Amino acid sequence: MRPIVQISLDLTNIDEALETAALAMRAGVDWLEAGTPLILAEGLHGVRALRAAFPETPIVADLKTMDGGYLEAEMMAKAGATHVVVMARAHAETVRCVVKAGADFGCQVMGDNMVCDDMVAGAKWLEDLGCDFVIHHIGYDERRGIAARGNPMPSPLDQLREVVDAVKIPVQAVGGLSLEQAIACPKYGAPLVVLGAPLTIDADAFRTADGDLESSLRLICEAVHAQDCPIRDSL
């Protein structure tokens, strides 16, 4: 199958999110993510605005649910999200509630294994509870804290192959990846490539002479789409 490009709109206002999303869609991005900062700043209005502007595009609401799972997922699905995110560190009952709401309101569920002591086991646990996708995620604070104490910065690529092999559902890797690392995810068997936003073009191969972000993003999408990835059920 052709891998999917998702752009995370980790922005704090609707106008900026809509502008970046429009540019991303013109460049060939497949899925939009209402990032946690956007959800905090604009809430359901942010998701509704994206849905109104892009009626056919999958929208991931990265709300990082820890409790009250059914209602959170229901609200996001009714606002137009096609995918919601629940944390593996939440109680199993919360994950089940999000999965139930997903089934009731036609929304797929992404389980995020961030801060699990055993991230491979965390991914498997999320699958067993009914999640449709795994987000294999090294958190922003965690990465920076570890590096600030002089230790090598952990990367989601370190265990990506193990996570992919442990589950049957599709996996995405998130957290501090360079562009080239993100684009390489399908080589690890992870079919969803997440580009962090605001997008930084940190690889010469994708810098264009005029420095135009849309042109760079088009090259990135082409590089992702040119790869092949094994088919996984929820996609």
Ligand X SMILES: O=C([C@H](O)CO)[C@H](O)[C@H](O)COP(=O)(O)O
In the complex, the residues that contact ligand X under the rule CB under 6 A are 8, 10, 35-36, 62, 139-140, 174-177, 196
User: Of the two residues 77 and 179, which places its CB atom closer to ligand X in the complex?
Assistant: 179
Rounded to a whole number of angstroms, the minimum distance from the CB of residue 9 to ligand X is 9
Nearest residue by C-beta to ligand X? 196
Rounded to a whole number of angstroms, the minimum distance from the CB of residue 28 to ligand X is 19
User: Of the two residues 85 and 223, which places its CB atom closer to ligand X in the complex?
Assistant: 85
DSSP string, the chain: ---EEEEEE--SSHHHHHHHHHHHHHHT--EEEE-HHHHHHHHHHHHHHHHHH-TTS-EEEEEEE-S-HHHHHHHHHHHT-SEEEEETTS-HHHHHHHHHHHHHHT-EEEEE-TT-SSHHHHHHHHHHTT-SEEEEE--HHHHHHHHHTTSPPP-GGGGHHHHHHH-SS-EEEESS--HHHHHTGGGGT--EEEEPSS-----GGG--TT--HHHHHHHHHHHHHTS-----TT-
Rounded to a whole number of angstroms, the minimum distance from the CB of residue 121 to ligand X is 20
Here the tokens at position 183 are 């684009």
**Alpha carbons 31 and 138: distance in angstroms, whole number:** 21
Yes or no: say if 82 and 54 are a contact pair by the CB < 8 Å rule. Answer: no
User: Of the two residues 105 and 140, which places its CB atom closer to ligand X in the complex?
Assistant: 140
User: Of the two residues 87 and 169, which places its CB atom closer to ligand X in the complex?
Assistant: 87
Rounded to a whole number of angstroms, the minimum distance from the CB of residue 64 to ligand X is 7
User: Of the two residues 100 and 187, which places its CB atom closer to ligand X in the complex?
Assistant: 187
In DSSP terms, which residues pair with 137 in a beta bridge? 174
Rounded to a whole number of angstroms, the minimum distance from the CB of residue 138 to ligand X is 8
User: Of the two residues 14 and 138, which places its CB atom closer to ligand X in the complex?
Assistant: 138
Rounded to a whole number of angstroms, the minimum distance from the CB of residue 34 to ligand X is 10
